[in-house]
Structures are given as C-alpha cells and as structure tokens.
Amino acid sequence: MAPSTPIPVSIVTGFLGSGKTTLLNRLLKDPSLVDTAVIINEFGDVGIDHLLVEQSNDGVIELSDGCLCCTIRGDLVDTLADLIDRLQTGRIRALSRVIIETTGLADPAPVLQVIMAQPVLSQVYRLDGVIVTVDAVSGPATLDNHEEAIKQVAMADRIVLTKTDLVDRDSPEFARFTTRLMQLNPGAPQVSAQDGEGIKAELFDCGLYDPETKTADVSRWLRDAAVEEHHHHHGHDVNRHDSRIRAFTLQHDQPIDPGAFETFVDLLRSVQGERLLRFKAIVCLADNPDRPLVVHGVQSVFHPPARLAAWPDEDRRTRLVIISRDIDENYVRRLFDAILDTPSVDTPDREALENNPLAVPGVRMG
C-alpha cells in the first residue's frame, strides 16, 4: 500500500565543492527532518557526518558506484522503490522526506525525470523542488567556464549562496553575481547558507502541494509573478552562455480547448526536447474550467497531468512558466497564439500547425 500522502523529494545539486554536503549536514540537524532519507552518491568519502549516519541507521542510503543521475540511473529508481518497501515492511519507522544529493558535475534533469515520470514512483513521491548551491567565491568563474553549472542554476527552484562568509556581501562584485543568478533564474528565491535557522523553511515545500493547508499553493510553486517581473532584464554584458537561457511566462484569460493545449505541449516537447529545461503550468481547460490542470515537465519528460479540485484563489488565468535554453521565446509565443487561434501576423492557424508543425517561423531543427 502506498503512503497516504506522497513523500516530498528534494534534489540538491550544485557544482563540485560548492557546499552541498555542508548544507545538508546543517539542514539535517533540524529536528523536524529526523525521518529524512538521504540518497547520496559519493566516491569513497562518507560526505555526511558520521554521527548522522549512525543516528539514522537505515534511513541513510549511500550509493557508491558511479554517477547517480546517469550511469546508475536504474539504481536511483530501485533505491526509491526500496525505501517504500522498507517503510511498508516496518524496516524503517517513518519516511517523511527524501533528499537526493547529486554529484557536482551532474545534470539534474534525469533525476527530476525519475521522480516525475516513473509510473510507480510518481504515485508515492512528489517532487518538492530542486535546490542548487552556488559558491559566492568561485561561483562567477564556475558559471563562466562550465555550462552545466549554468544549467543547474537555471533548473533550480531555490538558490543557496554558500561561502558568503568569505566575501563582502556589500561589494559590487557580489551584487553583480546575485543579479546574474537572478537573470538566469528569476523565479528562484536566493538564500544565503549563512542565514541560519530560517533557511529550512525557505528551501523545502516549494512544490505545488502545501502540507500546512493540504491544498495547492500555485503561486509559490509557479513563481510566475517573479519571472514576469524580471523578464527581459538581461544586461548588455551577459556572458554568452548565460544569454542562451531564457525564463518567461505565458498567460491566457479564456478557457482553452483541451486538444489544443495538448497539441501545444506535444509540439513543444517533441520539437524543442532537451532545450526545454523546465515547464510549469496551471491551465484552465474548457471541459472543466473549475478544476485547473497542472502540468510539469523537464525536457521532453512530463509528469502525468493532474487536476486540482479547485482554483486556489480568484486568479483563474492559465499561466505557464518556461525556462529554456536556446529556444526563441517568440517562437513559443507564436506557437501558443496559433494553438489558441489568436490571430497574429505571419503565423499559421492551428489546423495548419497540426498538419505541419514546422510551419511556425523561427522553429529550429536538430
């Protein structure tokens, strides 16, 4: 039998040496995280404090043979399934949360996809959020030199600045760095690892489900207001890698035909595939406008769409947040307009699109 409420899974990502393990060790001292299982991938060293491993005994699982998210992807699935098995057979007392620490060079996307799209796992677990650690000292250079570090930042729901004790937080360099992070990911709040007690509340429960109220907290999850506010704030001197990343929102006031929306999502994922870093949406569909559809995808893998029981507040607009790499935002906007049959210059209508999806100007092949 599955647990009655899905178990939240947080993914901690961040470049080599950026402070993932240090952050985890601090977080896990919080008494409310006692029934947390940590899935960690370390070569050799035990990264998590020894004390903690002893305390939690069965609750901490370390994988030690290969990269968590690529070479041993099957093992992550097995490990998550095994945790549930242990819970059900009483070999672990409780399981209130899972934290997966990825290796520093890892692409977080496959890990997210495991949680979202493995049919069995996606019923038992829910993705809470992706937390990325960025080093305030070497972070700027890391972003300049490593595109995977940029991708980790762009995909995150929360950004943790580490080693802020080693920099002057009032300096222009620090301000430039935090601005750069905001431009890469305007929807992700930034917190400093130095900020102490409050940090846990900032980092967890950023998923759609609010355990306090047992309802959906759409604006906390979608963060569309923040993305909208900072849209187009890329400075002139942005690094060319940074400029590949775009975060933007789409909105629509009227209920949308379910088939049209499906076509839109299908086209986006099939044509843009891995360039679609995150896709989050709450959608008012014409067949049942009172029960919004929630859609969440990472690259071409999407969580099975779910209907909320009701809209959480008066705002019943369809809202989408897209974080993309190398996708022309205007292409997506034109596609959305075409699908909704909103007239727009030089854009084929929906029927034409369904016959020939490549008819949208600006589409890139390959």
Q: Please identify, using beta-carbon distances, which residue of 16 and 175 lies nearer to ligand GTP.
A: 16
Minimum distance between the CB of residue 31 and ligand GTP, rounded to whole angstroms? Answer: 22
Q: Please identify, using beta-carbon distances, which residue of 162 and 318 lies nearer to ligand GTP.
A: 162
- State how beta strands 245-252 and 318-325 pair: antiparallel
Determine the interface stretch with ligand GTP among 9-17, 59-67, 237-245, 269-277 (rule: CB under 6 A).
9-17
The footprint of ligand GTP on this chain (CB under 6 A) covers a number of residues equal to 15
Minimum distance between the CB of residue 277 and ligand GTP, rounded to whole angstroms? Answer: 21
Amino acid in the structure at residue 150: I
Task: Measure Cα distances from 49 to 15, 25, 53, 110 in Å.
Answer: 20, 7, 7, 27
Q: Collapsing DSSP states into helix, strand and coil, what is residue 155?
A: helix
Give the contacts of 259 (CB within 8 A, at least 6 positions apart).
Answer: none
Residue among 317, 126, 340, 133 nearest 225 (CA): 317
Q: Hey, which residues between 117 and 136 contact ligand GTP (CB under 6 A)?
A: none
Pairwise CA distance, residues 40 & 155, whole Å: 20
Q: Please identify, using beta-carbon distances, which residue of 24 and 267 lies nearer to ligand GTP.
A: 24
Q: Please identify, using beta-carbon distances, which residue of 68 and 222 lies nearer to ligand GTP.
A: 68
Q: Please identify, using beta-carbon distances, which residue of 162 and 347 lies nearer to ligand GTP.
A: 162
How distant is the alpha carbon of residue 222 from its chain centre? 10
Q: What x-and-dash track marks residues 84-113 binding ligand GTP by CB under 6 A?
A: --------------------x---------
Tell me the β-bridge partners of 319.
251, 282
Q: Please identify, using beta-carbon distances, which residue of 17 and 259 lies nearer to ligand GTP.
A: 17
Pairwise CA distance, residues 160 & 291, whole Å: 34
Q: Hey, which residues between 15 and 54 contact ligand GTP (CB under 6 A)?
A: 16-22, 47
Amino acid in the structure at residue 36: T
Q: Please identify, using beta-carbon distances, which residue of 174 and 311 lies nearer to ligand GTP.
A: 174
Pairwise CA distance, residues 10 & 24, whole Å: 11
Minimum distance between the CB of residue 109 and ligand GTP, rounded to whole angstroms? Answer: 18
Q: Hey, which residues between 137 and 176 contact ligand GTP (CB under 6 A)?
A: 162-163, 165-166
Q: Please identify, using beta-carbon distances, which residue of 162 and 272 lies nearer to ligand GTP.
A: 162
Minimum distance between the CB of residue 23 and ligand GTP, rounded to whole angstroms? Answer: 7
Q: What x-and-dash track marks residues 252-271 binding ligand GTP by CB under 6 A?
A: --------------------
Pairwise CA distance, residues 150 & 76, whole Å: 24
Minimum distance between the CB of residue 152 and ligand GTP, rounded to whole angstroms? Answer: 11
Q: Please identify, using beta-carbon distances, which residue of 133 and 272 lies nearer to ligand GTP.
A: 133
Task: Measure Cα distances from 168 to 11, 132, 135, 137, 175 in Å.
Answer: 29, 21, 13, 10, 10
Minimum distance between the CB of residue 24 and ligand GTP, rounded to whole angstroms? Answer: 8
What one-character DSSP code corresponds to residue 210?
Answer: E
Residue among 203, 180, 194 nearest 132 (CA): 203
Q: Taking a C-beta distance cutoff of 8 angstroms, is the pair 67, 106 a contact? A: yes
Q: Please identify, using beta-carbon distances, which residue of 163 and 278 lies nearer to ligand GTP.
A: 163
Minimum distance between the CB of residue 95 and ligand GTP, rounded to whole angstroms? Answer: 23
Q: Hey, which residues between 166 and 225 contact ligand GTP (CB under 6 A)?
A: 166, 193
Minimum distance between the CB of residue 186 and ligand GTP, rounded to whole angstroms? Answer: 24
Pairwise CA distance, residues 221 & 187, whole Å: 9
The angle, 0 to 180 degrees and rounded to 10, between the axes of the packed helices 172-184 and 147-155 is 70
Minimum distance between the CB of residue 42 and ligand GTP, rounded to whole angstroms? Answer: 7
What one-character DSSP code corresponds to residue 93?
Answer: S
Q: Which residue ranges make up the site for ligand GTP (CB under 6 A)?
A: 14, 16-22, 47, 104, 162-163, 165-166, 193
